[in-house]
Amino acid sequence: MSGHGTPIPMMSRPCGPLSGEAHVPGDKSISHRSLILGAMAVGETRITGLLEGQDVMDTAKAMQAFGAEVTDHGGGEWSVHGVGVGGFAEPEQVIDCGNSGTGVRLIMGAAATTPITVTYTGDASLNSRPMGRVTDPLALFGAQTQGREGGRLPMTIKGAADPIPVTYTSPVPSAQVKSAVLLAGLNTPGQTVVIEAEATRDHTERMLQGFGAELTVETTDEGRVITLTGQPELQPQNIIVPRDPSSAAFPVCAALIVPGSDVLVPNIGLNPTRAGLFTTLREMGADLTYENMREEGGEPVADLRARYSPDLRGIAVPPERAASMIDEYPVLSVVAAFAQGVTDMQGVKELRVKESDRIDAMAKGLSAAGVTVDEGPDWWRVTGLGHGNVPGGVTVASVLDHRIAMAFMVMGMATQKPMTVDDGNPIATSFPIFEPLMAGLGAGITRPNA
Ligand code: S3P
């Protein structure tokens, strides 16, 4: 089982105004999909701006284990020489996806309709997350799974030799589940259909179309109905990965709460299925503007300008927006602590099965730092104290979760006393340049034990 090495405590001190440009890394969701679809195309896919975080590197290694050639040309330029749909070879070793739910669930789908046997594992966080949500629909194609109690990793999946096309209504709002089913549908004759009641990020649909698959999306009373025609020959692509809105969230939110700040975060993907946080922040009174709106590689992109926002107020976040900002609730709860009034977050059950139980992790850390948090199975509420009034001054657990660690580092930039996380290692899974990037803006993050 993989791990994260010796814990590295990280401390964030209250700092002066943040200013300058924050060039955040490439989008994690699009990076995983670029490697996986590249490996399933025939010929060479070129990728510019790939996220070189641990999660994506684990997916790159996995694609090599299935027989694709993955080459790092330096400076975020990568190529993948694919083996074609149905061309995956049986890996000789266990596929270790580290901390990445997206990596393991998408790869399970991609390999489930090829007659190979694959064993998957990950770190302690990943091995405690539910996989039944993916292996249940994969069983309908004919894949056979043997895992641990509760559908947990490590797990072995024997791919279907004669896969049967499936129509699947996803019981959870999850792009990972939807994507696993669609990727399994690639090597299945006939039409695979996924129905999702709530729209989740649609990168898989857009990218499958880009690679030449026949895929349609209809909006009906049941929700989005996605129909994929199986066994296409995927055409290799030149992909420019937009920068990750989920990573942009950290410098943006830091700028809103540190007095005097003015930060520009250029080239951020603003796909509507991902941009819910920015809409929410604006409703809370954030001074956040989109500059230079444009389209790149089929995705809307803009430069985000975030300035200190003295009049932040709590709001009720509409539950139907949850899927479009699901990874951003931890840092939103930090901004909510500095707002006036209550921020109410409903319909967020999925937060309990991420890299950690994110409601629990944030509630514990925020409460220890002097902020009142109420919670239920699928909701939580943060009572804001207003700028300058959040005590801080505690060490909190990052529970193997990159976004928990970064959220508390952002918090420490504006609390009365520093905030410390017990382990900053997980940050490298999605945002390996977080510390130098935040230091470049004027933040004071240090490693107390170094
Ligand atoms: C992702 C989907 C989301 C998100 C994750 C990335 C993806 O997970 O939390 O960070 O790339 O498909 P769910 O599908 O479980 O909601």
pLDDT digits (tens, 9 = 90+) for 113-156: 999 999 999 999 999 999 999 999 999 999 999 999 999 999 99
Same domain, 279 and 356: yes
- Indicate whether residue 326 lines ligand 1 (CB < 6 A): yes
Same domain, 360 and 438: yes
Give the amino acid at 326.
I
If you average pLDDT over residues 417-421, what whole number do you get? 98
Q: How many A from CA of 176 to the centre of ligand 1?
A: 5
Q: Is residue 236 part of a domain?
A: no
Ligand 1: residue whose CA is nearest its atom 4: 327
**Total domains in the fold of the chain:** 2
Q: Is residue 234 part of a domain?
A: no
Q: Is residue 224 part of a domain?
A: yes
Report the CATH number that the domain containing residue 278 is assigned in CATH: 3.65.10.10
If you average pLDDT over residues 246-257, what whole number do you get? 99
Q: Is residue 4 part of a domain?
A: no
Same domain, 47 and 21: no
Beta-ladder partners of 278: none
Q: Specify the residue for token string 């302690």.
A: 124
Question: Which of 195, 228, 261 is the last residue before a domain boundary?
Answer: 228
- Phi-psi category of 392—alpha, beta or left, where left has phi over 0 and alpha has psi -120 to 50? left
Same domain, 219 and 298: no
- Average predicted confidence (pLDDT) for the chain: 97
Q: How many residues would you count in the chain?
A: 450
Q: Which atom of ligand 1 is nearest to the CA of 174?
A: 14
- Indicate whether residue 102 lines ligand 1 (CB < 6 A): yes
pLDDT above 60: residue 293: yes
Ligand 1: residue whose CA is nearest its atom 15: 174
Give the amino acid at 309.
S
Q: Is 152 exposed, middle or buried (0-12, 13-18, 19+ CB in 10 A)?
A: middle
Same domain, 220 and 290: no
Q: How many A from CA of 179 to the centre of ligand 1?
A: 10
Q: Is residue 146 part of a domain?
A: yes
Same domain, 94 and 49: yes
Same domain, 22 and 38: no
Same domain, 20 and 35: no
d(CA 237, CA 47): 8
Q: Is residue 137 part of a domain?
A: yes
Same domain, 355 and 255: yes
Question: pLDDT of 314-360, one tens digit each?
Answer: 999 999 999 999 999 999 999 999 999 999 999 999 999 999 999 99
Same domain, 267 and 382: yes
C-beta separation of 212 from 233 below 8 A: yes
Question: What pLDDT was estimated at residue 1?
Answer: 38
Q: Specify the residue for token string 């991609």.
A: 110
Question: Which of 180, 199, 228 is the last residue before a domain boundary?
Answer: 228
In a mutational test of the pocket of ligand 1, which residue from 201, 353, 354 has the highest number of ligand atoms less than 8 Å from its CB? 201
d(CA 68, CA 21): 37
**pTM of the entire predicted model:** 0.97
Question: pLDDT of 13-30, one tens digit each?
Answer: 999 999 999 999 999 999
Q: Is residue 233 part of a domain?
A: no
Same domain, 311 and 398: yes
Same domain, 250 and 292: yes
The torsion angle over the Cα atoms of residues 429, 433, 435 and 440, rounded to 10 degrees, is: -160
> In which domain, by residue range, is 287 found?
10-26+242-446
For residue 187, give Cα distances in angstroms to 61, 301, 445. Answer: 22, 32, 47
Q: Is residue 191 part of a domain?
A: yes
d(CA 252, CA 257): 9
d(CA 153, CA 422): 26
Question: Which of 198, 228, 258 is the last residue before a domain boundary?
Answer: 228
Question: pLDDT of 197-250, one tens digit each?
Answer: 999 999 999 999 999 999 999 999 999 999 999 999 999 999 999 999 999 999
327 catalytic residue (yes or no)? yes
d(CA 247, CA 261): 18
User: Exposed e or buried b for every residue in 232-258, given b needs 16+ CB within 10 A?
Assistant: bebebbebbbbbbbbbbbbbbbbbbbb
d(CA 321, CA 279): 9
